[in-house]
């Protein structure tokens, strides 16, 4: 989801004794695909959506409740929008821009769950590098040695076709900077990032408009 604001969190009294620090803390607030995160100099917090029992928004505040108590996030104008995203999150397929009739090229082998989601979306799946045109192509990278494939596939792209590069999170073998660098060296522009799964991130690359 990738939304971030500078703000604060106010923490109500916890229902469980966990040495929780109460009061108000300044820092960064992030709304991710499936969790709300706070990062401050003296306090950090991560709240999975699945643990939220109530979510309300009013006067620039996002008020969320869990079984441990109430947390009030001062996020300003983003409050109502974030509430909607928490209560009605987009599916992975929607975030990737895939819908009925979308042509999708698979340049790697993906897990069964992703394949089921593609089938349910009624997208047109194209395997490999045949001549059929696709709106979105997906390539999984597992290490720096796989980055050479980016330039090869970039040369086959046309028009507004998107190339999604899917890579592991938090691995030294391949980092976000490695992926972005490979895409840019291949003449592409990175325009979007999506949490592909609990273990992988997807970066979207396209041909710059002036080069199409």
Domain boundary residue, one of 63, 87, 111? 87
Q: Nearest CA to 7 among 109, 75, 105? A: 75
For position 21, what pLDDT does the model report? Answer: 57
Helix, strand or coil for residue 88?
Answer: coil
Q: Decide which of 162 and 18 is more confident.
A: 162
Residues 132 and 155 in one domain: yes
**pLDDT, tens digit (0-9, with 9 covering 90-100), for 36-93:** 999 999 999 999 999 999 999 999 999 999 988 899 999 999 999 999 999 998 899 9
CA distance 64 to 32: 15
The Cβ-side half-sphere exposure at 34, using a 13 Å CA radius, reads: 10
Examine the domain organization and report whether 111 and 59 are in the same domain: no
How much is the pLDDT for 7? 95
Same domain, 151 and 185: yes
Distance, CA of 101 to CA of 99 (rounded, Å):
6
DSSP 8-state assignment for residue 90: P
Q: Is pLDDT above 50 for 206?
A: yes
Chain segment 83-120, per-residue pLDDT in tens: 999 999 889 999 999 999 999 999 999 999 999 999 99
The answer to whether residues 65 and 53 touch, using CB atoms and an 8 Å cutoff, is yes
pLDDT band at 195 (very low <50, low <70, confident <90, very high): confident
Whole-number pLDDT of residue 130:
74
Its domain, for residue 70, covers: 3-87
Q: What is the mean pLDDT of the chain?
A: 91
pLDDT of residue 89: 85
Per-residue pLDDT at 43: 92
Total structural domains in the chain? 2
Residue 14: which pLDDT band, with cuts at 50, 70 and 90? low
Assess whether pLDDT exceeds 90 at residue 34. no
CA dihedral defined by 159, 117, 93, 104, rounded to 10 degrees?
0
Please, which pLDDT band fits residue 13 given cuts at 50, 70 and 90?
low
Contact criterion met (CB below 8 Å) for 70 and 63: yes
Q: How confident is the model at residue 17 (pLDDT cuts 50, 70, 90)?
A: very low
Same domain as 189, residue 105: yes
β-bridge pairing 136-140 and 103-106:
parallel
How far apart are the C-alpha atoms of 58 and 65, rounded to whole Å? 14
Q: 30-34, 164-168, 183-187: which range is least confident on average?
A: 30-34
Domain boundary among 64, 87, 110: 87
């Amino acid at each position: 989801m990738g939304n971030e604001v500078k703000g604060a969190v106010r923490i109500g009294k916890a229902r469980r004794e966990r040495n929780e620090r109460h009061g108000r803390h300044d820092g960064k607030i992030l709304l991710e695909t499936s969790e709300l995160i706070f990062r401050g100099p003296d306090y950090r917090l991560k709240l999975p959506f699945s643990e939220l029992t109530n979510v309300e928004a009013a006067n620039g505040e996002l008020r969320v409740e869990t079984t441990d108590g109430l947390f009030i996030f001062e996020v300003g104008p983003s409050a109502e929008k974030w509430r909607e995203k928490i209560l009605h999150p987009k599916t992975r397929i929607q975030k990737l821009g895939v819908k009925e009739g979308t042509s999708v090229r698979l340049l790697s082998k993906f897990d069964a769950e992703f394949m089921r989601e593609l089938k349910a979306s009624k997208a047109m799946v194209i395997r490999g590098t045949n001549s059929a045109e696709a709106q979105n192509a997906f390539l999984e990278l597992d290490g720096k040695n796989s980055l050479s494939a980016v330039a090869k596939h970039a040369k086959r792209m046309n028009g507004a076709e998107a190339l999604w590069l899917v890579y592991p999170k938090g691995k030294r073998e391949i980092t976000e900077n490695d992926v972005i660098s490979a895409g840019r060296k291949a003449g592409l522009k990175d325009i979007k990032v999506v949490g592909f799964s609990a273990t992988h991130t997807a970066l979207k690359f396209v041909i710059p408009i002036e080069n199409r």
